[in-house]
Structure 1
Protein backbone atom coordinates (compact mmCIF):
# COMPACT_ATOMS: atom_id res chain seq x y z
CA UNK A 1 0.00 0.00 0.00
CA UNK A 2 1.58 3.29 -1.11
CA UNK A 3 -0.48 5.59 1.11
CA UNK A 4 -2.20 4.78 4.39
CA UNK A 5 -4.16 8.05 4.39
CA UNK A 6 -5.61 9.90 1.42
CA UNK A 7 -7.87 12.94 1.85
CA UNK A 8 -8.98 14.86 -1.22
CA UNK A 9 -11.12 18.01 -1.14
CA UNK A 10 -12.45 17.17 2.33
CA UNK A 11 -14.77 19.80 3.79
CA UNK A 12 -16.78 19.98 7.01
CA UNK A 13 -18.87 22.96 8.09
CA UNK A 14 -20.06 23.85 11.59
CA UNK A 15 -21.76 27.03 12.76
CA UNK A 16 -18.52 28.82 13.65
CA UNK A 17 -15.87 26.76 11.86
CA UNK A 18 -15.23 25.19 8.47
CA UNK A 19 -12.67 22.66 7.32
CA UNK A 20 -11.84 24.03 3.89
CA UNK A 21 -11.23 21.34 1.23
CA UNK A 22 -8.33 19.52 2.88
CA UNK A 23 -5.86 17.54 0.76
CA UNK A 24 -3.64 15.28 2.84
CA UNK A 25 -1.53 12.20 2.03
CA UNK A 26 0.45 10.00 4.43
CA UNK A 27 2.74 7.43 2.78
CA UNK A 28 3.15 4.06 4.49
CA UNK A 29 5.94 3.92 7.06
CA UNK A 30 6.11 7.67 7.70
CA UNK A 31 5.23 9.90 10.61
CA UNK A 32 3.44 13.19 10.05
CA UNK A 33 2.95 15.97 12.57
CA UNK A 34 -0.27 17.91 12.17
CA UNK A 35 0.48 21.38 13.56
CA UNK A 36 -1.82 24.27 14.34
CA UNK A 37 -3.14 26.49 17.10
CA UNK A 38 -6.23 25.43 19.05
CA UNK A 39 -9.21 25.66 16.71
CA UNK A 40 -7.16 25.23 13.53
CA UNK A 41 -9.01 22.03 12.55
CA UNK A 42 -6.62 19.32 13.78
CA UNK A 43 -9.11 17.35 15.87
CA UNK A 44 -11.83 17.66 13.23
CA UNK A 45 -9.45 16.21 10.65
CA UNK A 46 -8.52 13.28 12.90
CA UNK A 47 -12.13 12.54 13.79
CA UNK A 48 -13.02 12.37 10.11
CA UNK A 49 -10.14 9.92 9.60
CA UNK A 50 -11.51 7.78 12.43
CA UNK A 51 -15.08 7.82 11.10
CA UNK A 52 -16.28 9.57 14.27
CA UNK A 53 -17.79 12.29 12.09
CA UNK A 54 -18.53 12.28 8.35
CA UNK A 55 -17.16 14.84 5.94
CA UNK A 56 -19.68 17.03 4.09
CA UNK A 57 -17.78 16.57 0.82
CA UNK A 58 -14.58 15.12 -0.54
CA UNK A 59 -13.12 11.61 -0.36
CA UNK A 60 -11.30 9.87 2.49
CA UNK A 61 -9.41 6.58 2.31
CA UNK A 62 -7.62 5.04 5.30
CA UNK A 63 -5.62 1.82 4.90
CA UNK A 64 -7.29 1.39 1.53
CA UNK A 65 -10.84 1.70 2.91
CA UNK A 66 -13.31 4.46 1.99
CA UNK A 67 -14.63 6.39 4.97
CA UNK A 68 -17.06 6.61 6.60
CA UNK A 69 -18.70 3.60 4.89
CA UNK A 70 -15.83 1.14 5.48
CA UNK A 71 -14.66 2.43 8.85
CA UNK A 72 -15.10 -0.91 10.65
CA UNK A 73 -12.60 -2.60 8.34
CA UNK A 74 -10.20 0.34 8.58
CA UNK A 75 -10.28 0.45 12.39
CA UNK A 76 -9.03 -3.12 12.74
CA UNK A 77 -5.48 -1.87 12.20
CA UNK A 78 -5.73 1.68 13.59
CA UNK A 79 -4.67 2.73 17.07
CA UNK A 80 -6.39 5.97 18.08
CA UNK A 81 -5.83 8.05 21.20
CA UNK A 82 -7.11 11.50 22.12
CA UNK A 83 -6.84 13.61 25.25
CA UNK A 84 -10.53 13.12 26.09
CA UNK A 85 -10.46 9.29 26.05
CA UNK A 86 -11.64 7.64 29.27
CA UNK A 87 -10.61 4.42 30.98
CA UNK A 88 -12.48 2.50 33.70
CA UNK A 89 -11.48 4.28 36.90
CA UNK A 90 -12.43 1.41 39.20
CA UNK A 91 -10.45 -1.21 37.27
CA UNK A 92 -6.69 -1.70 37.42
CA UNK A 93 -4.28 -1.63 34.49
CA UNK A 94 -3.96 -5.42 34.44
CA UNK A 95 -7.73 -5.70 33.88
CA UNK A 96 -7.54 -3.19 31.02
CA UNK A 97 -4.72 -5.17 29.41
CA UNK A 98 -6.76 -8.38 29.57
CA UNK A 99 -9.79 -6.57 28.17
CA UNK A 100 -7.81 -5.33 25.17
CA UNK A 101 -6.19 -8.71 24.62
CA UNK A 102 -9.63 -10.34 24.37
CA UNK A 103 -10.46 -8.12 21.37
CA UNK A 104 -7.20 -7.86 19.47
CA UNK A 105 -5.28 -10.95 18.30
CA UNK A 106 -2.23 -8.74 17.66
CA UNK A 107 -1.94 -7.90 21.37
CA UNK A 108 1.67 -8.21 22.59
CA UNK A 109 1.61 -9.01 26.30
CA UNK A 110 5.38 -8.91 26.79
CA UNK A 111 5.53 -5.49 25.12
CA UNK A 112 2.67 -4.26 27.31
CA UNK A 113 4.60 -5.28 30.44
CA UNK A 114 7.73 -3.62 29.05
CA UNK A 115 5.81 -0.37 28.60
CA UNK A 116 4.28 -0.61 32.09
CA UNK A 117 7.79 -0.90 33.57
CA UNK A 118 9.17 1.87 31.38
CA UNK A 119 6.28 4.22 32.22
CA UNK A 120 6.46 3.21 35.93
CA UNK A 121 2.81 2.09 36.00
CA UNK A 122 1.51 -0.31 38.67
CA UNK A 123 -0.50 -3.14 37.08
CA UNK A 124 -2.61 -3.74 40.22
CA UNK A 125 -3.58 -0.11 40.94
CA UNK A 126 -7.06 1.16 40.08
CA UNK A 127 -6.90 3.94 37.53
CA UNK A 128 -8.78 6.35 39.80
CA UNK A 129 -5.50 6.59 41.72
CA UNK A 130 -3.46 7.47 38.62
CA UNK A 131 -2.33 11.03 37.96
CA UNK A 132 -3.22 12.68 34.66
CA UNK A 133 0.19 11.85 33.26
CA UNK A 134 -0.11 8.21 34.35
CA UNK A 135 -3.54 7.91 32.69
CA UNK A 136 -2.12 9.31 29.43
CA UNK A 137 0.72 6.79 29.55
CA UNK A 138 -1.71 3.97 30.37
CA UNK A 139 -3.82 4.89 27.33
CA UNK A 140 -0.74 4.86 25.11
CA UNK A 141 0.33 1.49 26.54
CA UNK A 142 -3.06 -0.03 25.65
CA UNK A 143 -2.78 1.49 22.19
CA UNK A 144 0.82 0.57 21.39
CA UNK A 145 0.65 -3.00 22.72
CA UNK A 146 -1.93 -3.79 20.05
CA UNK A 147 0.85 -3.26 17.47
CA UNK A 148 -1.45 -1.36 15.04
CA UNK A 149 -0.19 -0.54 11.56
CA UNK A 150 -1.45 3.05 11.78
CA UNK A 151 -1.36 5.28 14.86
CA UNK A 152 -3.60 8.35 14.98
CA UNK A 153 -2.84 10.48 18.01
CA UNK A 154 -4.68 13.65 19.00
CA UNK A 155 -2.39 15.80 21.18
CA UNK A 156 -0.68 12.77 22.81
CA UNK A 157 1.50 14.78 25.20
CA UNK A 158 -1.00 17.42 26.37
CA UNK A 159 -0.84 18.00 30.11
CA UNK A 160 2.25 15.89 30.68
CA UNK A 161 5.11 17.12 32.85
CA UNK A 162 8.54 17.33 31.16
CA UNK A 163 9.68 13.90 32.41
CA UNK A 164 6.49 12.13 31.31
CA UNK A 165 6.58 13.92 27.94
CA UNK A 166 10.16 12.77 27.42
CA UNK A 167 9.22 9.14 28.20
CA UNK A 168 6.27 9.20 25.80
CA UNK A 169 8.27 10.85 23.00
CA UNK A 170 11.10 8.35 23.49
CA UNK A 171 8.73 5.39 23.19
CA UNK A 172 6.99 6.84 20.13
CA UNK A 173 10.40 7.36 18.52
CA UNK A 174 11.20 3.70 19.16
CA UNK A 175 7.90 2.60 17.64
CA UNK A 176 8.70 4.58 14.52
CA UNK A 177 11.83 2.56 13.79
CA UNK A 178 9.43 -0.10 12.44
CA UNK A 179 9.04 0.77 8.76
CA UNK A 180 5.71 -1.09 8.61
CA UNK A 181 4.02 1.41 10.93
CA UNK A 182 2.71 4.86 10.11
CA UNK A 183 1.80 7.69 12.47
CA UNK A 184 -0.28 10.84 12.21
CA UNK A 185 -0.32 12.96 15.32
CA UNK A 186 -1.64 16.42 16.04
CA UNK A 187 0.11 18.86 18.32
CA UNK A 188 0.59 22.53 19.01
CA UNK A 189 3.93 21.59 20.60
CA UNK A 190 6.35 22.16 17.75
CA UNK A 191 9.26 20.66 19.72
CA UNK A 192 7.52 17.25 19.70
CA UNK A 193 6.86 17.53 15.97
CA UNK A 194 10.44 18.55 15.21
CA UNK A 195 11.76 15.56 17.22
CA UNK A 196 9.56 12.89 15.66
CA UNK A 197 8.24 13.81 12.25
CA UNK A 198 9.33 12.93 8.73
CA UNK A 199 6.80 15.38 7.34
CA UNK A 200 4.62 18.13 8.76
CA UNK A 201 1.33 19.66 7.79
CA UNK A 202 0.36 23.16 8.95
CA UNK A 203 -3.34 23.81 9.52
CA UNK A 204 -4.72 27.29 10.10
CA UNK A 205 -8.37 28.36 10.08
CA UNK A 206 -9.39 25.02 8.58
CA UNK A 207 -6.93 25.23 5.67
CA UNK A 208 -3.70 23.41 4.86
CA UNK A 209 -0.97 26.02 4.68
CA UNK A 210 1.89 23.63 3.93
CA UNK A 211 2.55 19.89 3.83
CA UNK A 212 6.08 18.70 3.11
CA UNK A 213 9.26 17.03 4.34
CA UNK A 214 10.27 18.70 7.60
CA UNK A 215 13.94 19.13 6.72
CA UNK A 216 13.11 20.76 3.38
CA UNK A 217 10.62 23.02 5.11
CA UNK A 218 13.07 24.16 7.80
CA UNK A 219 15.76 24.75 5.19
CA UNK A 220 13.61 27.30 3.34
CA UNK A 221 13.40 29.72 6.26
CA UNK A 222 15.91 32.20 7.71
CA UNK A 223 15.92 35.08 10.16
CA UNK A 224 17.88 37.92 8.53
CA UNK A 225 19.26 40.70 10.72
CA UNK A 226 19.89 43.97 8.90
CA UNK A 227 21.01 47.53 9.49
CA UNK A 228 19.38 50.39 7.66
CA UNK A 229 16.48 52.80 7.47
CA UNK A 230 13.32 50.73 7.00
CA UNK A 231 9.97 51.99 8.25
CA UNK A 232 6.95 49.86 9.23
CA UNK A 233 5.03 50.96 6.13
CA UNK A 234 7.79 50.23 3.62
CA UNK A 235 6.95 47.68 0.95
CA UNK A 236 8.85 44.45 1.62
CA UNK A 237 9.53 41.49 -0.68
CA UNK A 238 6.53 39.11 -0.67
CA UNK A 239 8.51 36.28 0.96
CA UNK A 240 9.19 38.35 4.11
CA UNK A 241 6.71 36.98 6.64
CA UNK A 242 7.52 39.27 9.54
CA UNK A 243 9.52 42.41 10.33
CA UNK A 244 10.55 43.54 13.81
CA UNK A 245 12.82 46.39 14.92
CA UNK A 246 15.36 45.80 17.70
CA UNK A 247 17.24 49.00 18.42
CA UNK A 248 19.21 49.92 15.31
CA UNK A 249 18.61 46.49 13.75
CA UNK A 250 15.75 45.16 11.63
CA UNK A 251 14.91 41.47 12.04
CA UNK A 252 13.18 39.84 9.07
CA UNK A 253 11.74 36.32 8.88
CA UNK A 254 12.11 35.16 5.30
CA UNK A 255 10.48 32.25 3.45
CA UNK A 256 12.03 30.66 0.32
CA UNK A 257 15.35 32.15 1.37
CA UNK A 258 18.23 32.42 -1.09
CA UNK A 259 20.63 34.87 -2.73
CA UNK A 260 17.77 36.69 -4.56
CA UNK A 261 16.22 37.46 -1.16
CA UNK A 262 19.47 38.99 0.07
CA UNK A 263 19.84 41.03 -3.10
CA UNK A 264 16.31 42.42 -2.76
CA UNK A 265 17.14 43.58 0.78
CA UNK A 266 20.41 45.16 -0.36
CA UNK A 267 18.52 46.93 -3.15
CA UNK A 268 16.42 48.58 -0.44
CA UNK A 269 19.58 49.96 1.13
CA UNK A 270 19.81 47.43 3.95
CA UNK A 271 23.10 46.01 5.19
CA UNK A 272 22.78 42.29 5.98
CA UNK A 273 24.51 41.70 9.33
CA UNK A 274 23.58 38.10 10.12
CA UNK A 275 21.60 35.20 8.65
CA UNK A 276 20.27 32.58 11.11
CA UNK A 277 18.33 29.35 10.84
CA UNK A 278 14.91 29.32 12.48
CA UNK A 279 13.25 26.78 14.73
CA UNK A 280 9.95 25.21 13.76
CA UNK A 281 8.26 27.16 16.55
CA UNK A 282 9.54 30.47 15.17
CA UNK A 283 8.35 29.54 11.68
CA UNK A 284 4.99 28.41 13.03
CA UNK A 285 4.40 31.71 14.85
CA UNK A 286 5.44 33.75 11.82
CA UNK A 287 2.98 31.90 9.60
CA UNK A 288 0.09 32.10 12.03
CA UNK A 289 0.62 35.88 12.15
CA UNK A 290 0.79 36.03 8.37
CA UNK A 291 -2.13 33.66 7.93
CA UNK A 292 -0.73 32.07 4.78
CA UNK A 293 2.40 30.57 3.25
CA UNK A 294 4.00 31.54 -0.03
Structure 2
Protein backbone atom coordinates (compact mmCIF):
# COMPACT_ATOMS: atom_id res chain seq x y z
CA UNK A 1 0.00 0.00 0.00
CA UNK A 2 1.32 3.45 -0.94
CA UNK A 3 2.24 5.73 1.96
CA UNK A 4 0.88 9.27 2.12
CA UNK A 5 3.93 10.01 4.25
CA UNK A 6 6.65 8.16 6.07
CA UNK A 7 9.33 9.35 8.48
CA UNK A 8 12.22 7.35 9.89
CA UNK A 9 14.52 8.32 12.74
CA UNK A 10 13.02 11.82 12.65
CA UNK A 11 14.52 14.30 15.09
CA UNK A 12 14.23 18.05 15.62
CA UNK A 13 15.96 20.07 18.34
CA UNK A 14 15.00 23.42 19.82
CA UNK A 15 16.49 25.13 22.91
CA UNK A 16 13.74 23.80 25.21
CA UNK A 17 12.25 20.93 23.22
CA UNK A 18 13.33 17.94 21.17
CA UNK A 19 11.47 15.57 18.87
CA UNK A 20 13.06 12.17 19.42
CA UNK A 21 13.64 9.48 16.78
CA UNK A 22 10.10 9.24 15.31
CA UNK A 23 9.26 6.32 12.99
CA UNK A 24 5.79 6.80 11.53
CA UNK A 25 3.82 6.27 8.32
CA UNK A 26 0.28 6.72 7.02
CA UNK A 27 -1.32 4.80 4.17
CA UNK A 28 -3.06 6.79 1.45
CA UNK A 29 -6.77 7.28 1.98
CA UNK A 30 -6.64 7.15 5.78
CA UNK A 31 -7.01 9.69 8.60
CA UNK A 32 -4.43 9.83 11.38
CA UNK A 33 -5.25 11.57 14.64
CA UNK A 34 -2.35 12.98 16.67
CA UNK A 35 -3.07 13.05 20.40
CA UNK A 36 -0.90 14.91 22.88
CA UNK A 37 -0.83 17.68 25.47
CA UNK A 38 0.65 21.10 24.68
CA UNK A 39 4.35 20.73 23.95
CA UNK A 40 4.08 17.06 22.95
CA UNK A 41 5.51 17.67 19.47
CA UNK A 42 2.35 17.55 17.35
CA UNK A 43 2.87 20.93 15.68
CA UNK A 44 6.58 20.27 15.13
CA UNK A 45 5.79 17.00 13.34
CA UNK A 46 3.10 18.60 11.17
CA UNK A 47 5.35 21.53 10.20
CA UNK A 48 8.08 19.10 9.13
CA UNK A 49 5.59 17.12 7.01
CA UNK A 50 4.39 20.39 5.47
CA UNK A 51 7.93 21.38 4.51
CA UNK A 52 7.83 24.45 6.75
CA UNK A 53 10.55 23.14 9.08
CA UNK A 54 13.49 20.90 8.26
CA UNK A 55 14.44 17.95 10.48
CA UNK A 56 17.82 17.77 12.17
CA UNK A 57 18.00 14.02 11.65
CA UNK A 58 16.16 11.21 9.92
CA UNK A 59 14.32 10.96 6.62
CA UNK A 60 10.98 12.38 5.48
CA UNK A 61 8.96 11.30 2.44
CA UNK A 62 5.64 12.94 1.57
CA UNK A 63 3.51 11.72 -1.34
CA UNK A 64 6.52 9.99 -2.82
CA UNK A 65 8.76 13.06 -2.55
CA UNK A 66 11.82 13.31 -0.32
CA UNK A 67 11.84 16.37 1.94
CA UNK A 68 13.30 18.93 2.03
CA UNK A 69 14.95 18.26 -1.37
CA UNK A 70 11.65 17.78 -3.27
CA UNK A 71 9.39 19.94 -1.11
CA UNK A 72 8.17 22.11 -4.01
CA UNK A 73 6.67 19.08 -5.76
CA UNK A 74 5.19 17.79 -2.50
CA UNK A 75 3.61 21.13 -1.59
CA UNK A 76 1.63 21.19 -4.83
CA UNK A 77 -0.34 18.21 -3.53
CA UNK A 78 -0.69 18.91 0.18
CA UNK A 79 -2.68 21.35 2.26
CA UNK A 80 -1.76 22.72 5.68
CA UNK A 81 -3.88 24.64 8.16
CA UNK A 82 -2.94 25.69 11.68
CA UNK A 83 -4.89 27.55 14.33
CA UNK A 84 -2.22 30.29 14.35
CA UNK A 85 -2.35 30.94 10.59
CA UNK A 86 -3.70 34.33 9.57
CA UNK A 87 -5.59 35.51 6.49
CA UNK A 88 -5.65 39.08 5.17
CA UNK A 89 -8.30 40.72 7.32
CA UNK A 90 -8.86 43.66 4.93
CA UNK A 91 -9.50 41.36 1.98
CA UNK A 92 -12.60 39.34 1.17
CA UNK A 93 -12.84 35.58 1.13
CA UNK A 94 -13.44 35.83 -2.62
CA UNK A 95 -10.07 37.62 -2.98
CA UNK A 96 -8.38 34.76 -1.09
CA UNK A 97 -10.16 32.15 -3.24
CA UNK A 98 -9.02 33.84 -6.46
CA UNK A 99 -5.46 34.07 -5.13
CA UNK A 100 -5.31 30.35 -4.33
CA UNK A 101 -6.96 29.47 -7.66
CA UNK A 102 -4.21 31.31 -9.56
CA UNK A 103 -1.49 29.54 -7.59
CA UNK A 104 -2.90 25.99 -7.71
CA UNK A 105 -4.22 24.53 -10.99
CA UNK A 106 -6.21 21.84 -9.11
CA UNK A 107 -8.47 24.44 -7.47
CA UNK A 108 -12.08 23.19 -7.70
CA UNK A 109 -14.39 26.22 -7.94
CA UNK A 110 -17.49 24.05 -7.91
CA UNK A 111 -16.46 22.37 -4.67
CA UNK A 112 -15.54 25.76 -3.20
CA UNK A 113 -19.11 26.87 -3.87
CA UNK A 114 -20.45 23.80 -2.08
CA UNK A 115 -18.22 24.53 0.93
CA UNK A 116 -19.36 28.16 0.99
CA UNK A 117 -22.93 26.99 1.46
CA UNK A 118 -22.06 24.24 3.92
CA UNK A 119 -20.04 26.60 6.09
CA UNK A 120 -22.57 29.45 5.69
CA UNK A 121 -19.82 31.84 4.50
CA UNK A 122 -20.22 34.89 2.25
CA UNK A 123 -17.48 35.12 -0.36
CA UNK A 124 -17.66 38.93 -0.68
CA UNK A 125 -17.40 39.62 3.06
CA UNK A 126 -14.11 41.01 4.40
CA UNK A 127 -12.24 38.65 6.72
CA UNK A 128 -12.16 41.47 9.28
CA UNK A 129 -15.85 40.80 9.92
CA UNK A 130 -15.49 37.04 10.37
CA UNK A 131 -15.82 35.36 13.74
CA UNK A 132 -13.12 32.94 14.89
CA UNK A 133 -15.19 30.00 13.75
CA UNK A 134 -15.80 31.57 10.35
CA UNK A 135 -12.07 32.22 9.88
CA UNK A 136 -11.31 28.57 10.68
CA UNK A 137 -13.89 27.43 8.15
CA UNK A 138 -12.54 29.88 5.56
CA UNK A 139 -9.05 28.48 6.00
CA UNK A 140 -10.36 24.94 5.62
CA UNK A 141 -12.29 25.94 2.49
CA UNK A 142 -9.12 27.37 0.91
CA UNK A 143 -7.35 24.08 1.58
CA UNK A 144 -10.13 21.62 0.78
CA UNK A 145 -11.09 23.25 -2.54
CA UNK A 146 -7.56 22.61 -3.78
CA UNK A 147 -8.34 18.88 -3.51
CA UNK A 148 -4.99 18.06 -1.83
CA UNK A 149 -3.89 14.45 -1.68
CA UNK A 150 -2.62 15.01 1.85
CA UNK A 151 -4.25 17.43 4.29
CA UNK A 152 -2.36 18.45 7.45
CA UNK A 153 -4.48 20.11 10.14
CA UNK A 154 -3.13 21.46 13.42
CA UNK A 155 -5.97 21.73 15.98
CA UNK A 156 -8.69 22.37 13.35
CA UNK A 157 -11.60 22.40 15.83
CA UNK A 158 -10.05 24.53 18.59
CA UNK A 159 -12.33 27.38 19.66
CA UNK A 160 -15.27 26.30 17.49
CA UNK A 161 -18.82 26.21 18.79
CA UNK A 162 -20.53 22.77 18.71
CA UNK A 163 -22.35 23.41 15.40
CA UNK A 164 -19.22 24.67 13.61
CA UNK A 165 -17.25 21.74 15.03
CA UNK A 166 -19.68 19.22 13.55
CA UNK A 167 -19.57 21.01 10.18
CA UNK A 168 -15.78 20.85 10.12
CA UNK A 169 -15.72 17.16 11.04
CA UNK A 170 -18.27 16.36 8.34
CA UNK A 171 -16.18 18.23 5.75
CA UNK A 172 -13.11 16.24 6.75
CA UNK A 173 -15.06 13.01 6.34
CA UNK A 174 -16.00 14.09 2.82
CA UNK A 175 -12.33 14.42 1.90
CA UNK A 176 -11.96 10.65 2.16
CA UNK A 177 -14.67 9.90 -0.38
CA UNK A 178 -11.75 9.88 -2.80
CA UNK A 179 -9.66 6.96 -1.58
CA UNK A 180 -6.38 8.60 -2.59
CA UNK A 181 -6.75 11.48 -0.14
CA UNK A 182 -5.31 11.37 3.35
CA UNK A 183 -5.56 13.52 6.48
CA UNK A 184 -3.34 14.05 9.52
CA UNK A 185 -4.87 16.18 12.23
CA UNK A 186 -4.02 17.00 15.82
CA UNK A 187 -6.52 17.83 18.51
CA UNK A 188 -6.90 18.23 22.25
CA UNK A 189 -10.40 16.83 21.79
CA UNK A 190 -9.96 13.07 21.92
CA UNK A 191 -13.66 12.62 21.11
CA UNK A 192 -13.08 14.19 17.68
CA UNK A 193 -10.14 11.91 17.00
CA UNK A 194 -11.98 8.84 18.26
CA UNK A 195 -14.89 9.72 15.96
CA UNK A 196 -12.89 10.47 12.83
CA UNK A 197 -9.48 8.81 12.79
CA UNK A 198 -8.53 5.45 11.27
CA UNK A 199 -5.13 5.53 12.96
CA UNK A 200 -4.26 7.01 16.35
CA UNK A 201 -0.80 8.24 17.35
CA UNK A 202 0.14 9.31 20.88
CA UNK A 203 2.93 11.86 21.32
CA UNK A 204 4.33 12.98 24.66
CA UNK A 205 7.38 15.12 25.42
CA UNK A 206 8.67 14.68 21.88
CA UNK A 207 8.40 10.90 21.87
CA UNK A 208 5.92 8.58 20.19
CA UNK A 209 4.17 6.43 22.79
CA UNK A 210 1.92 4.52 20.42
CA UNK A 211 0.59 4.37 16.87
CA UNK A 212 -2.01 1.85 15.75
CA UNK A 213 -5.29 1.52 13.88
CA UNK A 214 -8.12 2.80 16.07
CA UNK A 215 -10.25 -0.32 16.39
CA UNK A 216 -7.52 -2.74 17.42
CA UNK A 217 -5.89 -0.10 19.64
CA UNK A 218 -9.03 0.66 21.68
CA UNK A 219 -9.97 -3.02 21.75
CA UNK A 220 -6.75 -3.86 23.61
CA UNK A 221 -7.66 -1.74 26.66
CA UNK A 222 -10.11 -2.50 29.48
CA UNK A 223 -11.10 -1.13 32.87
CA UNK A 224 -11.54 -3.97 35.35
CA UNK A 225 -13.04 -3.60 38.84
CA UNK A 226 -12.10 -6.36 41.23
CA UNK A 227 -12.78 -7.33 44.85
CA UNK A 228 -9.96 -8.64 46.99
CA UNK A 229 -6.47 -7.90 48.27
CA UNK A 230 -3.65 -6.56 46.16
CA UNK A 231 -0.62 -8.86 46.03
CA UNK A 232 2.91 -7.64 45.21
CA UNK A 233 3.20 -10.12 42.33
CA UNK A 234 0.59 -8.18 40.37
CA UNK A 235 2.90 -5.16 40.20
CA UNK A 236 5.04 -7.10 37.73
CA UNK A 237 2.22 -7.96 35.34
CA UNK A 238 2.88 -6.02 32.10
CA UNK A 239 -0.84 -5.88 31.31
CA UNK A 240 -1.62 -3.71 34.35
CA UNK A 241 -0.96 -0.09 33.35
CA UNK A 242 -2.56 1.55 36.39
CA UNK A 243 -4.15 0.66 39.70
CA UNK A 244 -6.44 2.46 42.11
CA UNK A 245 -7.43 1.00 45.48
CA UNK A 246 -10.43 1.85 47.63
CA UNK A 247 -10.58 -0.56 50.55
CA UNK A 248 -10.96 -4.03 49.10
CA UNK A 249 -12.05 -2.70 45.69
CA UNK A 250 -9.35 -2.51 43.01
CA UNK A 251 -9.72 -0.65 39.71
CA UNK A 252 -7.25 -1.91 37.11
CA UNK A 253 -6.46 -0.25 33.78
CA UNK A 254 -5.44 -3.07 31.46
CA UNK A 255 -3.38 -2.91 28.26
CA UNK A 256 -3.29 -5.97 25.97
CA UNK A 257 -6.48 -7.42 27.45
CA UNK A 258 -7.22 -11.11 26.85
CA UNK A 259 -10.16 -13.32 27.75
CA UNK A 260 -8.11 -15.46 30.12
CA UNK A 261 -7.09 -12.49 32.28
CA UNK A 262 -10.08 -12.81 34.65
CA UNK A 263 -9.12 -16.40 35.42
CA UNK A 264 -5.52 -15.42 36.08
CA UNK A 265 -6.63 -12.65 38.43
CA UNK A 266 -8.90 -15.11 40.22
CA UNK A 267 -5.86 -17.29 40.75
CA UNK A 268 -4.34 -14.33 42.62
CA UNK A 269 -7.36 -14.14 44.93
CA UNK A 270 -9.26 -11.38 43.06
CA UNK A 271 -12.92 -11.56 42.10
CA UNK A 272 -13.56 -9.65 38.84
CA UNK A 273 -16.83 -7.73 39.21
CA UNK A 274 -16.97 -5.67 35.98
CA UNK A 275 -15.05 -5.28 32.72
CA UNK A 276 -15.58 -2.20 30.56
CA UNK A 277 -13.99 -0.69 27.43
CA UNK A 278 -11.98 2.51 27.92
CA UNK A 279 -12.34 5.80 26.07
CA UNK A 280 -9.44 7.15 24.04
CA UNK A 281 -9.05 9.98 26.55
CA UNK A 282 -8.75 7.53 29.45
CA UNK A 283 -6.26 5.39 27.51
CA UNK A 284 -4.12 8.43 26.70
CA UNK A 285 -4.07 9.74 30.28
CA UNK A 286 -3.22 6.28 31.60
CA UNK A 287 -0.41 5.87 29.07
CA UNK A 288 1.13 9.27 29.83
CA UNK A 289 0.97 8.74 33.60
CA UNK A 290 2.51 5.30 33.27
CA UNK A 291 5.33 6.84 31.22
CA UNK A 292 5.42 3.82 28.92
CA UNK A 293 4.41 2.90 25.40
CA UNK A 294 0.80 1.83 24.93
Relative to the length of structure 1, the TM-score reads 0.95
Maintained 8 Å contact 2:225/2:273: yes
Q: 1:80 Cα deviation (Å)?
A: 0.6
Map Cα deviations across residues 159-205 of structure 1 (whole Å, 9 max, x no partner): 11111111100111121121010111112211111111111111111
Distance (Å, rounded) in 2 between the aligned partners of 1:233 and 1:2: 45
Distance (Å, rounded) in 1 between the aligned partners of 2:290 and 2:122: 47
Is 1:286 the counterpart of 2:279 in the alignment?
Answer: no
Map Cα deviations across residues 131-180 of structure 1 (whole Å, 9 max, x no partner): 11110000001110011111011111111111111110011112112101
Is 1:147 the counterpart of 2:151 in the alignment?
Answer: no
Is 1:200 the counterpart of 2:200 in the alignment?
Answer: yes
Q: 1:32 Cα deviation (Å)?
A: 0.8
SS at match of 2:51: coil
Distance (Å, rounded) in 1 between the aligned partners of 2:248 and 2:39: 37
Aligned length: 294
Distance (Å, rounded) in 1 between the aligned partners of 2:261 and 2:205: 29
Q: Partner of 2:116 in structure 1?
A: 116
SS at match of 1:259: coil
Distance (Å, rounded) in 2 between the aligned partners of 1:11 and 1:251: 38
Q: Partner of 2:13 in structure 1?
A: 13
SS at match of 1:5: strand
Q: Partner of 1:81 in structure 2?
A: 81
Distance (Å, rounded) in 2 between the aligned partners of 1:247 and 1:164: 46
Distance (Å, rounded) in 2 between the aligned partners of 1:125 and 1:84: 21
Runs (5+) with no aligned partner, structure 2: none
Distance (Å, rounded) in 2 between the aligned partners of 1:216 and 1:60: 27
Runs (5+) with no aligned partner, structure 1: none
Distance (Å, rounded) in 1 between the aligned partners of 2:212 and 2:115: 32
Correspondences of 1:59-208 after superposition (within 5 Å):
59-208=59-208
Q: 1:285 Cα deviation (Å)?
A: 1.0
Q: Partner of 1:29 in structure 2?
A: 29
In terms of mean alpha carbon deviation, does 78-87 or 179-188 score higher? 179-188
Maintained 8 Å contact 1:34/1:186: yes
Maintained 8 Å contact 1:63/1:74: yes
Q: 1:213 Cα deviation (Å)?
A: 0.8
SS at match of 2:72: helix
Maintained 8 Å contact 1:225/1:252: yes
Distance (Å, rounded) in 2 between the aligned partners of 1:163 and 1:218: 27
Q: 1:232 Cα deviation (Å)?
A: 9.6
Q: 1:234 Cα deviation (Å)?
A: 6.8
Q: 1:19 Cα deviation (Å)?
A: 0.7
| C-alpha RMSD of matched pairs (Å) | 1.7
Distance (Å, rounded) in 1 between the aligned partners of 2:247 and 2:179: 50
Q: Partner of 1:223 in structure 2?
A: 223
Distance (Å, rounded) in 2 between the aligned partners of 1:58 and 1:149: 23
Q: 1:35 Cα deviation (Å)?
A: 1.2
Maintained 8 Å contact 1:153/1:185: yes
Q: Partner of 2:255 in structure 1?
A: 255
Maintained 8 Å contact 1:151/1:184: yes
Distance (Å, rounded) in 2 between the aligned partners of 1:102 and 1:66: 26
SS at match of 2:235: coil
